[in-house]
Structure formats: C-alpha cells, structure tokens
Structure 1
C-alpha cells in the first residue's frame, strides 16, 4: 500500500484533534490554517492531507464502527489507520505511535456490512430518524450524494467578464474549467485547485459559489434601478451576484448582525467592482423599522441547519442536534415575520435556505402565508443534493398591491 509520510500524518492528527476536541473549530478553517502553516508541502502532499482529513470527518461514525469504539483524543491515530485500511490508500504502519493491533478492524472490514443505516451513511442516529421522518425513503439517495466530494463551482462576475472569457483566462493560468448548462454564470473546475492564487480571482473576475446558490439571485427577478434589501447578507456571496444582475444600477442594502461579515463583504465588493452596495449593521430594531415598506425586492437567505451542504461542511453534522434544528425553525419564522415588512406593496421577496428539510422550507412558507394574507406565493424551487449540486430551497413571495 502507498505510504503516508510521518509529518503529514501528524498534521492530519492535529487537525482532527482541533476539529473534534479543541473548541470544536470549523473544519474549513482548521485545514486552511494547517496548509498555510506548512508551505513546504508539495501539491500532492497537500491534496493527501486535505482529502484524508475531510474523508475521516465525513465517515467518522462508520470508522468508529470498524474501530469498535468512539473517537477519543487518545485514539485519533487509530481512526486514521482505520480509514487507511478501509480505503486501502496511504497506509503506513502505526506501531511507532501506539502499537495498534489491526486484527479486530480487519475482521469487521472483511465482513463488509454494517448494522444500521446511520452507520452506513455515517450520520448521527437522531439525524437518520429526522431524514426518515421528513424525507421518507428518498433520504438515503440524498445522503449518498451528501457524502460525495463537492465540486468547485465559480460564479463569473459579469460586471467584468463573461463565463466563456473566464474559462479562457483560467486555462491561461493552467486551471481547466467548463460551462454548466442552464446556469449562465456558472463555471465548474475540472479538478480542485487553489483558485484564490490566480490573477483572475485577484482581478475580481469570479467568486466561488455553488450553482444552486446562484439560482437564488436569478429567481429573485431584480432589475436595474431597484432598491433591494438583503437582510442576512453575511459575507455577501449572493449580494455580489445581485449587484452584477443589476449592472451596478440601483441600490442594494446589505444587513447582518455581525460587523466582521459586513467588513468582508465590503472587501469583496471592492475587488468585484460592485459600487451599488451599502452595508448596515443590525444592532437594534430601529435598523429594520426604518426600512419598512421601502424595498422593491427582499432577500431572506435564512439561517438554517445547513443539511443541504454537508458535502462541503461534513463536520456540521457532528456539531448540531435536534434541539438546534427546533431552535432554528423558531428563528426562521420570526425572521420571516419581522423582515417581510421591509417589502413594498407589489414587491417580491425570496425566502431561501441551504437545508433539505421541509420543516425549514415549504412548511415555514406555508405557516407565514397562513398568518399573513397580504402575501402570496409566486413560485418555489427545491434543489436536492442528488442533482449533483448543493441542496437548496427557495420561495418567491409577493406582497399584494
């Protein structure tokens, strides 16, 4: 079997320790910091580290079954070994670390069966029950897709270039990519690369944004000269798309409760050449009240469980629970109720989540419409992970004139 070098192994171990036991940090931040701290690693080494790290997080429950025990700080090397034995890649004898015996693991691997669906798909028991209850038998098909590696998809910045021109520019920088049918602003990479080092990125020609996420801006039906409010703007991925769709004409007010996210949005907007965005921090209720009845279009990209994007954030399934989902559903309904008042009569708003649970999606919209008769549903779209892209829900709602 192919060997994995000792220093790479130590790096993977430390990253897993940080993700699961040291403040339970987000996996993407942990791996980013690890790779930045080891610039001496070559591209293949970096690929091995990142892939092994994410695969172990993704398949943790199944690996624990093969191990015969749960993951503890003292046995992370055994977790890595189990992964290497299971996948038959990058195997190295671990005796030099803790004298691990492999017989029990190999015996379970040879049997090639697991006792429960939760173990098979490597998710918590409570989540398997939630998927079964809310999605029915189709949940397993979606979970298979969510355990796959996510593709890297870019959104071309049409304020500066076109999708075809971006593909050509990236090829000049040895990054191969292709257009995606029915997604006019989307470009997909042939294989994962650090596109943030490219001149094309530094010049603001694109942002990394999944194809499903790009549908939200299109469905909101913005026009040049409109006043658009994005109430959960975050770092502004969708805000920047709206600016491009509006050709920098009109006004976009980007709101969020976190100042650091809005600061990142400003930085990204400057690189993208998006000049029609104004950021406002939600630090009291007056910020929202001042905007009542002023928006032609309203985007509510609501906080959610993130269960539609587990292929990108596999660690989140180990960090949330049913109590979190129950709490987030109450928050979603409150956000809908409070922020919908920003919309003008005759205006349209989008309620969107990156969840695949009906209780966070269409059921929330149904409850809102039942309690607010002056709003009506125009259309809704549900994109499931089995489509090949991220799982998203979006509902376009109009306030009656």
Structure 2
C-alpha cells in the first residue's frame, strides 16, 4: 500500500485518520505515529486523537462491514486514507458523545486535508446514509466481527480457551486501568495514598499487590504527586509480579533480559537494594534510552547494556548470574486492551518466528545462569506456543532444569501461570520459574 504523507496543515480528524491509515495499511505502531502527530496539537486535542484512533482499532471489523455496505467500491491509491476517515466518522456517530452535526460536518471537512476535496460529497453521503439507515442498531451476527479481532486470532483464542474465550475477547476490548507501583525507596504506600487523597484522586489498593495503586479515573500521570521525584512508576499489576517471583536476595547478581522500558528492573531494585549488581539488557538502543530516563527519575542505578541476549559470547563477562528475569519478545496478545493496534500489526506467521527467537534466547540465558540459580520466564502473551509449550519444550531439552510451580494447578505438560486479560484487573501475562540443578 502506497505511503501517504502527514497532511501539511494540521486538522484534528485528518490527522487522526492518517494515524489509523499508518497502522492498518503501513503496519506502523500507534506509539510511533501518535508521537509524530501529537507534536502538532495541544494536550486536549492529543487526548482526543488517541482516544478516537485507538477506539477505531478496537472496532475495525464492524466499521469495515458498515463501510462495505455503504461504499460501492473501495477507494485506492492516495485516496485510501479517505476510507479511514469515513471509519472515524462512523465511530464518532456510534461510540462517542460527539454530536451528529460535528461528527459529519467536521469529518467531511477533514477530507480536504487528506487530498480528497473531490470526495467530500461521498464522505457526506456515506455518513448521512449510515444514520438514515440506522445501521448501528441492526444486529451483526458474525462473531468475528463482534469480537473486533482478526479471524486468525479469534480462532486461536477459541481453540485454546473454549471456556474463557468470551471473557478474553470482551476484556481485550475494554480500556485498561492505570496501575501505579509505589517506589519504596522514595516513599511508602500509605504516604503516597495520603498525597492522592489530598488532591481528591480516586483509587484502590489491591490486597494482592503490596506496592500497587489502581486509579479509578483517568489522570495525567505527570501531574500526579511525586512524579518528578520518582515516587512511583506506571506498571500493570501482572508486570508487578515479576520481581516477587524472581525474589532477588542481597549480594546476588541479577540479569533483567529484554528489560526495556525498565519497569521490572526498577521493581527488582526496589525489592532488594543490597544487590551486588543488576544488569538491564536489551538489544534496542532507542528503547534503552527510556530505561535510563526511567531509572534516573526513580533514582536507581542498574548496569544498562545494549546487546543481543541470544548471543552471550558477544557481551557476557564470564561471571554467572544468580537470577535471571527473561521477559521474552512475544506477540503481546495479552496487552491488546492496552495497545489495540497489536491485533492488526501481528500476523499468523509472526508466532512461529517469535517462538524460535524465544527458544534461542531461553537456551542462551541458561548458559549464563549459575548452578542453583533461578530463571523466571515471562511474556505478555496468551498463546500457549509462546508460554507453557515453550517452557515444556525447554524442560525436555535441559535435564538440569527443575520446574518450580508458582501456583496450584500447574503440571509438567502445562507449566507456569497463565494470567488472562482482565483477571484481577491485570493484563494477560505468563510466568514460569525454573531452577538450575547443581548435580
């Protein structure tokens, strides 16, 4: 698909449609394209663009089904972005409080900014016909369209979780709650909560997470008390389990493998401040810049290393690690509610490539773990091929690997704990803990 440049002049809906086009047609991440567009707008407009674009991504199959009903033939070439603008208009009319007048009028006007001045009449006619035919009130029978997922992922979820598929699909389409992790090096949970109370910020403190706060209403993170002083980090509840599962002890050498953006690194240090060393390793230098920024704000000082985890001969100094957290590259299918673009960026062929990479890194990390040491394998995926099946295959390759259950119900054929999206308000995540035998 031909690339379409960002409109020369900023326009709220044109820029939003461009974001959607870049994700769906060019395969670019929402983080990258939103960052580019949001340089042009104020905070309020940026929030609108993000809410609308991510909302559209959650409803692509439904919006496309309506579009096919209303559009005689697909638009092509440099006019393809107009289809995404129309989808944005349909989303506003159906799922938002934007008035019909603004949803139609402003969307039609935005066509000019996308090089579609001659298509303004078409955009207007489609949006008017949509409301006139009351398509939004007509039931959609296709369960794939209802799910908001690509067909391949819909089938996999039903295949692996027949009893939980409906909940997974529903929760994956809900906005994720905002979890915070209090930095116990800087303050206490009680003191941080008092500061939130003083500003009338609504929150809860889950019993399952001793350092966690969940905000019950959306807030600008940087405006919360203690942000610049490093009192807290943004980290989902599932990710907050990694450090306790690793259970680093004083005097130990720890490796956080594939560490960016550094949330788990910070938590490891906060849980045990007397470590001999904590190494944060990642192959992406640009993402490591975020690790350094986050660690500086939280006042932590890990060893940050840019290297390929699958090739320890290129970076390992020969000194074994006591514990390793392997947060493996994955499909991220457990965090779709937080990053709805993932469902469209991932393709079926990606899963095989990812499982091969995971196995390569897994084996490599085992070589740098000392006998008697602990490795925690983690992903933010819900696909067994990346999780329980990956760990079971690793155990079959490594007789010196001892599986150590984290939760009741684990078996050797299905080791580890699979957290499903929305479970205890958490993202979808997987954990397994292994110990390297000394014999």
User: What TM-score does the superposition give when structure 1 sets the normalisation length?
Assistant: 0.90
Q: Does 1:217 align with 2:220?
A: no
Query: Unaligned 5+ residue runs, structure 1?
Result: 1-5
8 Å CA contact retained: 2:333, 2:382: yes
Which residue does the alignment assign to 2:216? 190
1:127 Cα deviation from its structure 2 partner? 1.2
Which residue does the alignment assign to 1:3? none
Structure 2 distance, partners of 1:173, 1:258, is: 38
Structure 2 distance, partners of 1:32, 1:201, is: 21
Which residue does the alignment assign to 1:317? 343
Q: Does 1:142 align with 2:168?
A: yes
Report the more deviating stretch, 166-175 or 57-66.
Answer: 166-175
SS at match of 1:188: strand
SS at match of 1:266: helix
Structure 2 distance, partners of 1:84, 1:235, is: 33
1:7 Cα deviation from its structure 2 partner? 4.8
Q: Identify if the C-alpha distance between structure 1 residues 89 and 316 changes in structure 2 by more than 3 Å, giving closer, same or farther.
A: same
Q: Does 1:10 align with 2:35?
A: no
Q: Identify if the C-alpha distance between structure 1 residues 252 and 360 changes in structure 2 by more than 3 Å, giving closer, same or farther.
A: same
Structure 2 distance, partners of 1:297, 1:168, is: 35
Structure 1 distance, partners of 2:66, 2:318, is: 56
Which residue does the alignment assign to 1:331? 357
Structure 2 distance, partners of 1:247, 1:88, is: 47
Aligned pairs (5 A) from 1:354-365: 354-365=380-391
Which residue does the alignment assign to 2:55? 55
Which residue does the alignment assign to 1:384? 420
Selected match of 2:285 from 248, 259, 263: 259
Query: Unaligned 5+ residue runs, structure 2?
Result: 1-9, 112-119, 406-415
Structure 2 distance, partners of 1:248, 1:7, is: 52
Selected match of 2:317 from 290, 315, 338: 290
Which residue does the alignment assign to 1:208? 234
Which residue does the alignment assign to 1:397? 434
8 Å CA contact retained: 2:261, 2:288: yes
SS at match of 2:352: helix
Q: Does 1:155 align with 2:160?
A: no
1:47 Cα deviation from its structure 2 partner? 4.3
Structure 1 distance, partners of 2:336, 2:219, is: 20
Structure 2 distance, partners of 1:270, 1:47, is: 27
Q: Identify if the C-alpha distance between structure 1 residues 365 and 169 changes in structure 2 by more than 3 Å, giving closer, same or farther.
A: same
Q: Identify if the C-alpha distance between structure 1 residues 198 and 138 changes in structure 2 by more than 3 Å, giving closer, same or farther.
A: closer
SS at match of 2:280: strand
Deviations 1:86-127 (A, max 9, x none): 226313224555233333574532322232x22111111111
Q: Does 1:77 align with 2:85?
A: yes
Report the more deviating stretch, 249-258 or 12-21.
Answer: 12-21
8 Å CA contact retained: 1:167, 1:176: no
1:137 Cα deviation from its structure 2 partner? 4.1
Report the more deviating stretch, 145-154 or 183-192.
Answer: 183-192
SS at match of 2:86: helix
Structure 2 distance, partners of 1:264, 1:304, is: 20
Structure 1 distance, partners of 2:202, 2:65, is: 39
Structure 2 distance, partners of 1:261, 1:76, is: 30
Structure 2 distance, partners of 1:136, 1:362, is: 17
Structure 2 distance, partners of 1:287, 1:228, is: 18
Structure 1 distance, partners of 2:289, 2:318, is: 21
Q: Does 1:38 align with 2:64?
A: no
8 Å CA contact retained: 1:145, 1:385: yes
SS at match of 2:418: strand
Cα RMSD over matched residues?
A: 2.3
Deviations 1:3-39 (A, max 9, x none): xxx9533342233234334x53321343344444322
Structure 1 distance, partners of 2:295, 2:53, is: 32
8 Å CA contact retained: 2:23, 2:345: no
SS at match of 2:205: strand
Aligned pairs (5 A) from 1:228-307: 228-275=254-301, 277-282=302-307, 285-287=312-314, 289-291=316-318, 294-307=320-333
8 Å CA contact retained: 1:288, 1:342: no
Selected match of 1:119 from 122, 130, 145: 145
Structure 1 distance, partners of 2:134, 2:203, is: 43
SS at match of 1:82: helix
